[in-house]
């Protein structure tokens, strides 16, 4: 039996949603373990697109979907997403979507603080998604957070909201020059969310444990990407949770020996939304062409994604940090039609070669990528379904990537649709 984690290797939007939806066919349960509705995971099935922000991407395969303790959850967004899925005939009942009683709640003041802080920072802002993610994790760490277990206890919840808002309103109005919030309207709204979500709230660690114990397979769905990890990413231009595979354990409540494989999702080039250094970023026509052909707009905020060449310094870092056992390369089709392609194999800093990703942002910002140039392919590969039918130059690109990061490619994605995929090795079928 296999339990597989699927992790973004770059700065998010690698195509995790597509690969999770594809692999979920072979799993019994799909578990999100960190982040919140800063994520936007796109699935395209039979030509129809669905973007999920909170509900795990296994839902379209009718699997049990778990929202783990490591998430921060905006209940309003979750209910909207469930209603949408329900309107499409998808079962979102309490047996299908389970929420950890320990997951933290995103509250209106978290969103207000996120927005007002970014506005106050001006051009020093992080470029957050504005969903209240950072302020909610901040309250979790300082032990002032509210969890689903609190939401279900009406009296305690109301009392805590009133007390917390005293302080938050002071901060919002006096420091951030934002509007104050009314505790009673928050309490009223959250009472309705509690009624609606109560049947889904449970101890999900037990549900996952029992699933694994009964010999069924579990897929752990990462959000964001390794270089947005709060510890290992380009701090402070990161998100506020651990994104790496190790957090699948603490964010879901399972022991490390249960996870048998880790698939790293690699976009065939690199993108980033929001601010922060990006050594292989392109500012020319090639970057614009990739952005346009790849339709690189954020699935959550609609922002234009910055685009650049594939960076194997970044990828080698992701291999080590996550213990990757295989790769899924996505959006290879987008590179078709370019005469030449570049792969970054190392960085140069002060005339010295760096093979590893630096910690200092000052150093990273001053790094110049060292490139290898490969020939492109003119063909449209989106209808190819057999590896051997890919153009030679696209195979050469994939082989060079495998060599440089010393990790085998298991899956190649050549279009957004579930079926636009070449599976060389399915970790759920062969371990
Ligand atoms: P996630 O956050 O990692 O789940 O990725 P997003 O859904 O935010 O962004 C990936 C985008 O690329 C989505 O619009 C997908 O539909 C699309 N996509 C995924 N795989 C492929 C692929 O192989 N080719 C093309 N052209 N688009 C893809
Ligand atoms: P998925 O799961 C891309 C980025 C934001 C910002 C930084 C902090 O779809 O890959 P936050 O709102 O988390 O405090 O923002 O992190 N970011 C993402 N970028 N894909 C995501 O998720 C992201 N989630 C957060 O743009 O730079
Ligand atoms: Mg996304």
Give the pLDDT of residue 389.
Answer: 98
Q: How many whole angstroms from 300 Cα to the centroid of ligand 3?
A: 7
Extract long-range pairs of 112-121: CB within 8 Å, 24+ residues apart.
112/172, 112/178, 112/179, 112/181, 113/168, 113/171, 113/172, 113/176, 113/178, 115/178, 116/172, 116/176, 116/177, 116/178, 117/176, 120/176, 120/177
Nearest CA to ligand 2 atom 25: 38
Nearest CA to ligand 2 atom 15: 128
Residues having CB closer than 6 A to ligand 2 are 8, 12-13, 38-41, 126-129, 131, 133-134, 223-225, 228, 239-240, 273-274, 299
Q: How many whole angstroms from 290 Cα to the centroid of ligand 3?
A: 17
Domains, the chain, in order of start with CATH, read: 3-101+200-261 (3.40.440.10), 104-197 (1.10.300.10), 266-430 (3.90.170.10)
Give the pLDDT of residue 300.
Answer: 82
CA angle (124 as vertex; 123, 128 as ends), nearest 5: 95
What percent of the chain is helix, strand and coil (3-state, nearest 5)?
40, 20, 40
Ligand 1 pocket residue status of 74, Cβ below 6 Å? no
Q: How many whole angstroms from 331 Cα to the centroid of ligand 3?
A: 13
CA gap 318, 236 in Å, rounded: 18
Q: Which atom belonging to ligand 1 lies closest to the Cα atom of 421?
A: 23
Give the pLDDT of residue 299.
Answer: 80
CA gap 53, 72 in Å, rounded: 12
Ligand 2, from 124, 228, 251, 264: best to mutate by most atoms within 8 Å of Cβ?
228
pTM across the whole model: 0.98
H helix count then E strand count, the chain: 14, 20
CA gap 308, 358 in Å, rounded: 19
Q: Which atom belonging to ligand 2 lies closest to the Cα atom of 299?
A: 9
Q: How many whole angstroms from 227 Cα to the centroid of ligand 3?
A: 14
**CB of 250 closer than 8 Å to CB of 70:** yes
Ligand 1, from 15, 51, 58, 414: best to mutate by most atoms within 8 Å of Cβ?
15
Identify each DSSP E strand in 174-258 by its residue range.
201-202, 218-221
Tell me which ligand sits closest to the C-alpha of residue 35.
2
Ligand 1, from 42, 129, 227: best to mutate by most atoms within 8 Å of Cβ?
42
- Establish whether the linkage from the previous residue to 348 is cis, with ω within 30° of 0: no
The DSSP secondary-structure symbol of 22 reads H
| C-alpha pair distances (Å), 373 with each of 149, 339, 342, 376 | 55, 10, 5, 9
Q: Which atom belonging to ligand 1 lies closest to the Cα atom of 43?
A: 16
Nearest CA to ligand 2 atom 27: 274
Tell me which ligand sits closest to the C-alpha of residue 128.
2
Q: What are phi and psi of 263, to 5 degrees?
A: -100, 125
Give the pLDDT of residue 298.
Answer: 86
The DSSP secondary-structure symbol of 256 reads G
Identify each DSSP E strand in 320-395 by its residue range.
326-330, 340-349, 352-354, 368-375
Nearest CA to ligand 2 atom 3: 12
Residue pLDDT tens, the chain, 431 long: 999 999 999 999 999 999 999 999 999 999 999 999 999 999 999 999 999 999 999 999 999 999 999 999 999 999 999 999 999 999 999 999 999 999 999 999 999 999 999 999 998 999 999 999 999 999 999 999 999 999 999 999 999 999 999 999 999 999 999 999 999 999 999 999 999 999 999 999 999 999 999 999 999 999 999 999 999 999 999 999 999 999 999 999 999 999 999 999 999 999 999 899 999 999 999 999 999 999 999 888 888 999 999 999 999 999 999 999 999 999 999 999 999 999 999 999 999 999 889 999 999 999 999 999 999 999 999 999 999 999 999 999 999 999 999 999 999 999 999 999 999 999 999 76
Q: Output the six-digit token pair for 89.
A: 């005939």
CA gap 398, 263 in Å, rounded: 16
Nearest CA to ligand 1 atom 21: 416
Nearest CA to ligand 1 atom 11: 15
Give the pLDDT of residue 418.
Answer: 97
Q: Output the six-digit token pair for 125.
A: 């802002």
Give the pLDDT of residue 72.
Answer: 98
Give the pLDDT of residue 301.
Answer: 84
List active site positions.
Answer: 13, 41
CA gap 230, 34 in Å, rounded: 11
**Best CA proximity match to 245, nearest among 134, 313, 319:** 319
């Amino acid at each position: 039996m296999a339990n597989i984690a699927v992790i973004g290797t770059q700065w998010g939007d690698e195509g995790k949603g597509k690969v999770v939806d594809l692999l979920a066919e072979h799993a019994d349960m799909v578990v999100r373990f960190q982040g919140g509705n800063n994520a936007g995971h796109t699935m395209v099935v039979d030509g129809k697109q669905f973007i999920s922000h909170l509900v795990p991407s296994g839902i379209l395969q009718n699997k049990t979907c778990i929202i783990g303790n490591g998430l921060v959850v905006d209940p309003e967004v979750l209910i909207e997403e469930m209603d949408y899925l329900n309107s499409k005939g998808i079962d979102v009942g309490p047996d299908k979507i389970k929420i950890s009683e320990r997951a933290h709640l995103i509250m209106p003041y978290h969103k207000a603080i996120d927005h007002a802080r970014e506005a106050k920072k001006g051009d020093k802002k992080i470029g957050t998604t504005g969903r209240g993610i950072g302020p909610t994790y901040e309250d979790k760490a300082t032990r002032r957070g509210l969890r689903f277990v609190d939401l279900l206890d009406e009296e305690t919840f109301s009392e805590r909201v009133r007390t917390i808002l005293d302080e938050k309103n002071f901060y919002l109005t006096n420091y951030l020059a934002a509007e104050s919030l009314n505790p009673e309207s928050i309490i009223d709204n959250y009472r309705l969310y509690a009624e609606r979500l109560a049947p889904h709230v449970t101890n999900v660690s037990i549900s996952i444990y029992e699933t694994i114990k009964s010999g069924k397979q579990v897929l752990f769905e990462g959000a964001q990407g390794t270089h947005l990890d709060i510890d290992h990413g380009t701090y402070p231009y990161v998100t506020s949770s651990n994104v790496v595979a190790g957090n699948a354990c603490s964010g879901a409540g399972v022991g490390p020996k249960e996870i048998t494989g880790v698939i790293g999702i690699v976009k065939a080039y690199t993108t980033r939304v929001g601010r922060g250094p990006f050594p292989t970023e392109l500012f020319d026509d090639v970057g614009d062409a990739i952005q346009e052909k790849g339709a690189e707009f954020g699935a959550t905020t609609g922002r234009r994604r910055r685009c650049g060449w594939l960076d194997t310094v970044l990828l080698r870092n992701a291999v080590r940090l996550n213990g990757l056992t295989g790769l899924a390369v996505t959006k290879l089709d987008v590179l078709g039609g370019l005469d030449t392609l570049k792969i970054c194999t190392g960085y140069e800093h002060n005339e010295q070669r760096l093979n590893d990703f630096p910690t200092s942002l000052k150093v990273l910002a001053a790094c110049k990528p060292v490139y290898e140039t490969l020939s492109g392919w003119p063909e449209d590969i989106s209808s190819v379904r057999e590896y051997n039918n890919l153009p030679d130059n696209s195979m050469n690109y994939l082989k060079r990537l495998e060599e440089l990061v010393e990790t085998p490619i298991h899956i190649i994605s050549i279009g957004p649709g579930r079926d636009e995929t070449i599976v060389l090795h399915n970790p759920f079928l062969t371990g």
